[in-house]
């Protein structure tokens, strides 16, 4: 019979070996996190990097038009964002001076800035005009933006009683110094183009085919209004839809092969595109908790509840978004016109919840090579406006809009 001392040693050894095995097993476990299965993915051009410039509106709309070229059977083309920025800043300067400085003058803009500039001035490839004429390899616009702002402020504040004939040329000089002089003509793939002929004959898109839509209750639905955001210096109009219709447009667009230019607020805690590659609006799911878990949850402070919600370790319940929630967030400045991006597809997580694949313009900064996944509630809640091809809008909604 085994003596007690030897038995104790064996038991302790067994416990130790089990502990080691458990530790090794635990060390190999990784948090599952968010796993996505593609439902639909549209062709898109490589992710670009706006770097330290406030030109997401140009990057996102150019990305949209590049995808539209692919959809139309055109070759993959890298179009120049800064060509549009040059023209937009000049028109913005003229309007700022005409309004005695009573309008926003900053780096931001809107989707229609791009389409309107292309209609008037054409477009060129990135290889012809990269807008890097100031000793940087990537866009760094702090000095440039402030230089232009100081110029137009000086014009408005001058004490000469009238404007000189030189002020607009001085603004052009700054634009040329930083971004470079605009090409009157150029060669591309063996042919000579002007910006206008390149837009017409090579890009081949009709800028009048593209419309912007939103969903707010302070204007009538199925009508157009000038969206009241600071960066809408051009006073461009958007069509107003009920939220369900707006989401139907997004879904129909992607299902029928049309990408969607997406303007949204990215200030939410659930916008975690660097770490997890997601944008979500989580909510505690009390129905999935035991009584003990509910009691523990309710004992937490608001700060502790927020910390738990935004760990974002795996998919969970999200807020149910309503038209009222959207309006309150807009009216209270909780939803602002932060960033322009491009919706290029749909996917579902391991729980079967729907997400939109988003092409960003911050370079390949995360595990999805510069893209991320925005949940349907996030898009419903935080979309400021979208731009789509008119043919991407369901026929019944187009009829109500008179398109």
pLDDT per residue over 238-252, tens digit each?
Answer: 999 999 999 999 999
Average pLDDT, the chain: 90
Quick check: 19 pLDDT over 60? no
Rounded to two decimals, the pTM is 0.90
- Cα–Cα distance measured from residue 338 to residue 64, given in angstroms and rounded to the nearest whole number: 18
Element (DSSP H or E) covering residue 330 = helix 323-331
Place 307 in a pLDDT band, splitting at 50, 70 and 90.
confident
Quick check: 120 pLDDT over 70? yes
- Cα–Cα distance measured from residue 403 to residue 397, given in angstroms and rounded to the nearest whole number: 9
Least confident interval from 275-289, 340-354, 371-385? 275-289
Determine the pLDDT at residue 298. 67
Mean pLDDT calculated for residue range 160-189: 95
Determine the pLDDT at residue 301. 76
Summarize pLDDT for 30-44 with one digit per residue, the tens: 457 899 999 999 999
Determine the pLDDT at residue 288. 66
Determine the pLDDT at residue 161. 81
Place 308 in a pLDDT band, splitting at 50, 70 and 90.
confident
Determine the pLDDT at residue 297. 59
Determine the pLDDT at residue 82. 98
Quick check: 16 pLDDT over 60? no
Closest-CA residue to 120 (of 78, 88, 94): 88
Determine the pLDDT at residue 27. 41
Quick check: 130 pLDDT over 50? yes
DSSP 290-336: -HHHHHHHHHS-HHHHHHHHTT--S---BPPP-HHHHHHHHHTTSS-
Residue 356 near residue 370 (C-beta atoms within 8 A): no
Q: How far is CA 345 from the centre of its chain?
A: 14
Taking CA atoms, 383 is separated from 13, 100, 214, 215, 378, in Å, by 60, 32, 8, 9, 8
Place 293 in a pLDDT band, splitting at 50, 70 and 90.
low
Determine the pLDDT at residue 25. 40
Summarize pLDDT for 367-389 with one digit per residue, the tens: 999 999 999 999 999 999 999 99
For the chain, what percent of residues have pLDDT higher than 70? 88
Determine the pLDDT at residue 31. 58
CB atoms within 10 A of CB 201: 11
| DSSP three-state, residue 7 | helix
Domains of the chain in start order, with CATH, are 55-205 (3.90.70.10)
Quick check: 5 pLDDT over 80? no
Determine the pLDDT at residue 286. 59
Quick check: 197 pLDDT over 50? yes
Mean pLDDT calculated for residue range 253-269: 96
Element (DSSP H or E) covering residue 71 = helix 56-71
Quick check: 214 pLDDT over 60? yes
What is the DSSP-derived secondary structure letter of residue 283? -
Mean pLDDT calculated for residue range 282-309: 69
Determine the pLDDT at residue 344. 98
Quick check: 26 pLDDT over 80? no
Summarize pLDDT for 62-114 with one digit per residue, the tens: 999 999 999 999 999 999 999 999 999 999 999 999 999 999 999 999 999 99
Mean pLDDT calculated for residue range 278-294: 74
């Amino acid at each position: 019979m085994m003596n007690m001392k030897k038995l104790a040693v064996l038991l302790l050894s067994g416990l130790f070996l089990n502990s080691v095995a458990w530790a090794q097993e635990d060390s190999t476990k990784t948090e599952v996190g968010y796993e996505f299965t593609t439902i639909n993915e549209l062709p898109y051009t490589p992710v670009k990097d706006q770097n330290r410039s406030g030109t997401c509106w140009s990057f996102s709309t150019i990305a949209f038009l590049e995808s539209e070229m692919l959809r139309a059977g055109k070759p993959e083309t890298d179009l120049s964002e800064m060509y549009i920025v040059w023209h937009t800043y000049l028109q913005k300067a003229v309007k700022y001076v005409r309004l005695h400085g009573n309008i926003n003058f900053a780096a931001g803009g809107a989707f229609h800035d791009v389409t309107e500039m292309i209609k008037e001035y054409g477009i060129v490839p990135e290889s012809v005009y990269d807008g890097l004429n100031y000793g940087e390899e990537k866009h760094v616009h702090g000095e440039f933006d402030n230089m232009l702002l100081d110029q137009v402020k000086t014009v408005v504040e001058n004490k000469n009683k009238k404007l000189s004939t030189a002020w607009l040329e001085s603004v052009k000089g700054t634009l040329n110094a930083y971004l470079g002089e605009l090409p009157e003509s150029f060669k591309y793939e063996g042919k000579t183009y002007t910006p206008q002929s390149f837009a017409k004959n090579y890009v081949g898109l009709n800028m009048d085919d593209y419309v912007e839509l939103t969903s707010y209750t302070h204007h009538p639905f199925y009508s157009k209004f000038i969206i009241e955001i600071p960066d809408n210096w051009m006073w461009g109009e958007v069509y107003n839809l009920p939220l369900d219709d707006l989401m139907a447009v997004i879904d129909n667009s992607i299902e029928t092969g049309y990408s969607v230019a997406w303007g949204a607020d990215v200030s939410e805690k659930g916008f975690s595109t660097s770490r997890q590659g997601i944008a979500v609006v989580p909510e505690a799911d009390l129905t999935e908790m035991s009584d003990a878990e509910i009691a523990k949850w309710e004992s937490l402070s608001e700060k502790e509840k927020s910390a738990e919600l935004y760990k974002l370790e795996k998919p969970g319940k999200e807020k149910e978004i309503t038209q009222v929630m959207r309006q309150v967030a807009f009216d209270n400045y909780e939803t602002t016109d932060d960033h322009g991006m491009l919706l290029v597809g749909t996917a579902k997580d391991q729980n079967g919840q729907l997400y939109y694949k988003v092409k960003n313009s911050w370079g390949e900064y995360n595990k999805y090579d510069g893209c991320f996944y925005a949940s349907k509630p996030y898009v419903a809640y935080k979309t400021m406006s979208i731009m789509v091809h008119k043919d991407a809008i369901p026929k019944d909604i187009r009829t109500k809009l008179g398109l």
